[in-house]
Amino acid sequence: MKCLLHIGTEKTGTTSLQAFLVENSAVLSDEGIHVCKSAGAGNNRAIPAAFLTIAKEDDYICSKNFSNIEQRKAWCESTLEDLTKEIDQARAYAHTFVISSEHFHSRLQSDSEVQELAARLAPLFDQIDVVCYLRRQDKLAMSRYNQMLRAGRTPGGLLPQGMHLETGGLPSSYDYYSLLQRWTCAFGKSSVKVRIYDKRCLIDGDIIEDFLASNEIVVNSNKLEFPASFNRGLSAQAQVLLLNINKQVIDNPTEHLQQLRRHLTEFLNASAAGKSAQPSAQEAKNYYSYFVNSNRAVAREWLDREDLFDETFAEYPEHPTAPPLEACLHLLLDFIMQYPGFPGEGLS
């Protein structure tokens, strides 16, 4: 049985792909394709968490409230035992076992973590294909800006500033050469399948269609359910409102303000998708320049070409864009009208 190990990266349509896999798991199962369930529905996040070095913690591990290291180790082993049982059961009817989590990319940052994962999976499968989607770093940064706003943070700008000097090199989430080297060393170069997350490069311009076709998954499309789009971009005025309320919550973290922020975020996610604020073409180009050498090394070693991404920046304006104050006020008024209890306790 073959394993398709989809490692992300983050902000490359992973939520939509995982929703598709969950919604169509029965149809895929009939075709001999088993979608992993024991490690979490959709995002099989428990697996990368189980291989996170014991000295590290992330939000997922913290949510487990382990009282000591031994308890955490026991959970890790139980998680992997459940996965092994699921694989053994699937082997009776499936030729392909799909594991998906963008947290493989973002959490397993050391060679030893990925090598331990490979050592655990290798005896369970005849073949393992590591599927990795890459997105041009300036576009990734802007998508993560929206993510940070939704999470209550206050990023300093659309494109991170100064982080290259602080880290002494490329930041790990954006350094694709180091990422692919890490996974290649553990699984072998022929096992690492690199795809480009760009509508012009994806088969039929869609992450789901691309994942199916590039991995030779053939299913009658009439039987499949395709989910609605997830994590749509916030409009520029929505970004302004979220940034400002996030600042207020950080300065004055009362339960009332936190509740207000949650309601505003829900409202904006549902009602304020649109074109986000944009850096200038020159700002985007300058930011991207940090990654050119690493990207070209990836292109040469994994794709046998010179350029990893289309390096034109024509989609950006000549000057940075920001929404007019009037548009922000109209959006805030829409929120107030939907929640007549604003700003009182009637929001709950």
Provide the CATH number for the domain around residue 110: 3.40.50
Boundary-marking domain end, from 181, 201, 223: 223
Pair 207, 257 in one domain: no
Pair 33, 169 in one domain: yes
- Angle at CA of residue 334, ends 330 and 337, nearest 5°: 135
At 346, is the pLDDT very low, low, confident or very high (cuts 50, 70, 90)?
very low
Nearest to 200 by CA among 293, 290, 284, 135: 135
What is the spatial distance between Cα 135 and Cα 148, in angstroms, rounded to a whole number?
18
pLDDT reported for residue 347:
47
Whether pLDDT at 164 is above 70: no
Domain carrying residue 105: 2-137+160-223
Pair 97, 42 in one domain: yes
Q: What is the mean pLDDT of residues 75-93?
A: 97
Pair 244, 126 in one domain: no
The type of residue at 192 is V
pLDDT reported for residue 162:
58
**Cut 0.85: pTM above it:** yes
Whether pLDDT at 206 is above 70: yes
Whether pLDDT at 337 is above 90: no
**pLDDT tens per residue across span 4-15:** 999 999 999 999
Q: What is the mean pLDDT of residues 282-304?
A: 95
Whether pLDDT at 161 is above 90: no
Lowest mean pLDDT among 50-59, 70-79, 160-169, 278-287: 160-169
Pair 39, 182 in one domain: yes
pLDDT reported for residue 222:
86
- 57 is written with which tokens? 């913690």
Pair 171, 261 in one domain: no
Q: Would residue 250 count as lying in a domain?
A: yes
Do residues 186 and 114 touch, judged by C-beta distance below 8 A? yes
Give the DSSP per-residue string, 234-283: BPHHHHHHHHHHHHHHHHS--HHHHHHHHHHHHHHHHH-BSPPP---HHH
Quote the number of domains for the chain.
Answer: 2
Q: What is the mean pLDDT of residues 267-287?
A: 93
